[in-house]
């Protein structure tokens, strides 16, 4: 489609290894070893992110895998289908790790999760994090927090994940310890980097070289709450940034205001969502935050099937500004988080947000939406 319908000279199997900014060319070699060179007027770097692989002895063993690309997914599926896998260890407890925990448990595989950090989901308010943790353990997964992994051993019959205080026998290991921006080619070319070594870009997605743009998970962004640079690799920003680069290269000036870090993921029957800053992040950004945590319902009190919704809301004591919201529940969370996300982009105060006219019908929520209940309670602290 790219080649025939769009007329794009798409060169697969052509890894680029060098950007010559003075000559305005990129150099590389095909998978067969043939050198190539491509000239540019404007260049877009969209190299994405790379899974972080801890420097563990034994991480190269067969049966130790990461999940980032379609090829990774196919490799995992082939490994599961070609062997009798009864146990799996997941190193890490982030988005991908938790989603893979659910997928493996659905297949009837015993799952053990381990990580060095003693806090489960450290970005999530503690009471909400406990709700998520209970959901995972209720579904049969074992969690080992504060366990530094020292090595992975192939004992002939399977693998052993050796931690500081325990050793886990397993048939496969999934490493899901996060990703880092793939910015090496930009750094080698002398292009400035930003937070987490992401490629630094302005609001038009230009790098420190005005002829070079960067978009997607390899590039940083402005945070709409702090107005400071951040690196939050999420799909909507990556897509939006790509469109903006195309507009700017073609002469239509587009500036992106930034991101709020709005995200949601599913783990078993729970939806977990966030937007903006947590209380700890707000303190680090120089705000004077207050926080409330409330428990509401996904439907009106008398409506059958209602389930709890837990909401954490953070506001700034000095200005009254809304800073962030987190939510956990079995229904009504994934799309409900969009209301406070819009409020953050609009730089609304908690009081202004508390007066928004949100929808109501008994099957979808109580008269006072959980977000409004949280805002009303937070106002008492501001």
* Six token digits for residue 254: 């587009």
Record the tokens describing residue 351, joined without a space.
């009081």
Task: Please tell me whether residues 61 and 171 are part of one structural domain.
Answer: yes
Does residue 7 sit within a domain?
no
CATH code, 36: 3.50.50.60
| Structure confidence at residue 271 (pLDDT) | 97
Q: What is the pLDDT of residue 155?
A: 84
Residue 3 included in any domain: no
- pLDDT per residue as tens digits for the range 96-105: 999 999 999 9
Query: Quick one: average pLDDT of 27-36?
Result: 96
Q: What is the pLDDT of residue 332?
A: 95
Residue 258 counted as domain residue: no
Q: Per the structure block, which two tokens stand in for 278?
A: 């947590």
Among 163, 179, 195, give the residue marking a domain's end. 179
The whole-angstrom separation of Cα 370 and Cα 358 is 10
The reply to whether 276 and 315 lie within a common domain is yes
- For residue range 295-311, list pLDDT tens digits in order: 999 999 889 999 999 99
In this structure, the answer to whether residues 44 and 55 fall within a common structural domain is: no
Same domain, 98 and 172: yes
* Long-range Cβ contact pairs of 306-311 (< 8 A, separation 24 or more): 307/331, 309/333, 309/336, 309/370, 310/127, 310/128, 310/131, 311/370, 311/371, 311/373, 311/374
| pLDDT-based confidence at residue 15 (cuts at 50, 70, 90) | very high
* Burial classification of residue 346, based on how many CB atoms lie within 10 Å of its CB (0-12 exposed, 13-18 middle, 19 or more buried): exposed
Q: Is 334 helix (H, G, I), strand (E, B) or coil?
A: coil
Q: Same structural domain for residues 76 and 143?
A: yes
Domain of residue 23 covers 16-49+186-249
**H-helix or E-strand containing 350?**
helix 350-354
In a domain, 190, yes or no: yes
Evaluate whether residue 104 is within a structural domain.
yes
Domain tally, the chain: 3
Provide the 8-state DSSP code for 338: H
Does residue 69 surpass a pLDDT of 90? no
The per-residue DSSP string of 85-135 comes to --EEEEE--SHHHHHHHHHHHHTT-EEEEE-S-SSSSTTS-HHHHHHHHHH
What is the three-class DSSP state of 70? helix
Instruction: Verify that 326 and 337 share a domain, yes or no.
Output: yes
Partner residues linked to 172 by β-bridges:
88
Length of the chain: 382
* Residue 1 located in a structural domain: no
Residue range 260-291, pLDDT digits in tens? 999 999 999 999 999 999 999 999 999 999 99
pLDDT band at 156 (very low <50, low <70, confident <90, very high): confident
Q: Which residue among 179, 200, 219 closes a domain?
A: 179
Q: Which residues contact 210 (CB under 8 A, 6 or more apart)?
A: none
Mean pLDDT of the chain: 96
CB of 159 closer than 8 Å to CB of 173: yes
The pLDDT, as a whole number, for residue 107 is 95
pLDDT in tens, 40-54: 999 999 999 999 988
Please answer whether residues 313 and 350 qualify as being in contact, where contact means their C-beta atoms are separated by less than 8 angstroms. Answer: yes
Q: 186 near 194, Cβ under 8 Å?
A: no
The per-residue pLDDT for 313 is 98
Tokens matching residue 80: 């599961």
Check whether residue 271 and residue 242 sit in a common domain: no
Same domain, 45 and 67: no
What integer is the mean pLDDT of 137-165? 92
Angle at 325 between CA 322 and CA 329, to 5 degrees: 155
What is the per-residue pLDDT across 235-263, written as a single tens digit (0 to 9) for each?
999 999 999 999 999 999 999 999 999 99
Residue 200 sits in the same domain as residue 348: no
Helix (H, G, I), strand (E, B), or coil: what is residue 31?
A: coil
pLDDT bin (cut points 50, 70, 90) of residue 344 is: very high
Q: Are 192 and 228 contacting, i.e. CB atoms less than 8 angstroms apart?
A: no
Is the pLDDT confidence value at 232 over 90?
yes
96 and 174, same domain (yes or no): yes
Does residue 271 sit within a domain?
yes
**Paired sense of beta strands 308-316 and 322-329, if any:** antiparallel
CA distance 181 to 191: 14
Residue 27 maps to a domain: yes
Q: Which of 151, 179, 207 is the last residue of a domain?
A: 179
pTM of the model: 0.93
Q: Confidence band (pLDDT; 50, 70, 90) for 68? A: confident
**pLDDT tens, position by position, 107-134:** 999 999 999 999 999 999 999 999 999 9
Gyration radius of the chain over CA positions = 23
Q: Kindly list the strands in the beta sheet with 149-154, ordered across the sheet, starting from the edge strand earlier in the chain.
A: 149-154, 159-163, 167-170
Read off the tokens for 276.
């903006």
Supply the DSSP symbol for 98.
H
Both 94 and 214 in a single domain? no
What pLDDT was estimated at residue 302?
85
Decide if 88 contacts 174 (C-beta within 8 A): yes
- At residue 157, the pLDDT reads 82
* Same-domain check for residues 170 and 215: no
């Amino acid at each position: 489609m790219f080649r025939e319908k769009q007329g794009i000279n798409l060169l697969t199997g052509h890894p680029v290894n060098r950007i010559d900014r003075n000559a305005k060319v990129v150099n590389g070699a095909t998978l067969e070893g043939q050198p190539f060179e491509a000239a540019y007027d404007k260049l877009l770097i969209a190299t994405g992110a790379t899974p972080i692989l801890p420097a563990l002895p034994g991480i190269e063993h067969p049966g130790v895998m990461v999940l980032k690309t379609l090829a990774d997914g196919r490799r995992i599926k082939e490994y599961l289908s070609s062997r009798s896998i009864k146990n799996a260890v997941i190193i890490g407890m982030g988005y991908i790790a938790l989603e893979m925990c659910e997928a493996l448990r659905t297949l009837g595989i015993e799952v053990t999760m381990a990580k060095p950090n003693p806090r489960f989901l450290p970005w999530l308010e503690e009471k909400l994090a406990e709700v998520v943790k209970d959901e995972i353990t209720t579904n049969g997964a074992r969690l080992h927090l504060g366990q530094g992994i020292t090595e992975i051993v192939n004992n002939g019959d399977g693998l052993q994940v050796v931690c500081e205080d325990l050793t886990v026998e397993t048939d496969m290991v999934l490493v899901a310890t996060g990703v880092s921006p793939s910015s090496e080619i930009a750094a080698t070319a002398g292009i400035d980097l930003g937070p987490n070594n992401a490629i630094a870009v302005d609001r038009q997605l230009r790098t420190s070289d005005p002829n070079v743009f960067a978009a997607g998970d390899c590039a940083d962004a402005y945070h709409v709450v702090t107005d400071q640079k951040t690196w939050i690799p999420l799909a909507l920003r990556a897509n939006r940034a790509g469109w903006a680069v195309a507009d700017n290269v073609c002469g239509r000036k587009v500036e992106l205001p930034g991101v709020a870090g709005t995200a949601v993921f599913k783990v078993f029957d729970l939806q977990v969502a966030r937007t903006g800053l947590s209380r700890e992040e707000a303190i680090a950004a120089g705000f004077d935050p207050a926080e409330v945590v409330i428990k509401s319902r996904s439907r009106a009190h008398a409506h059958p099937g209602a389930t709890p919704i837990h909401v954490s809301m953070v506001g700034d004591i000095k200005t009254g500004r809304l800073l962030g919201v987190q939510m956990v529940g079995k229904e009504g969370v994934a799309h409900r988080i969009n209301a406070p996300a819009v409020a953050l982009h609009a730089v609304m105060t908690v009081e202004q947000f508390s007066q928004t006219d949100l929808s109501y019908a008994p099957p979808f929520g109580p008269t006072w939406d959980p977000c409004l209940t949280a805002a009303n309670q937070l106002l008492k602290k501001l």
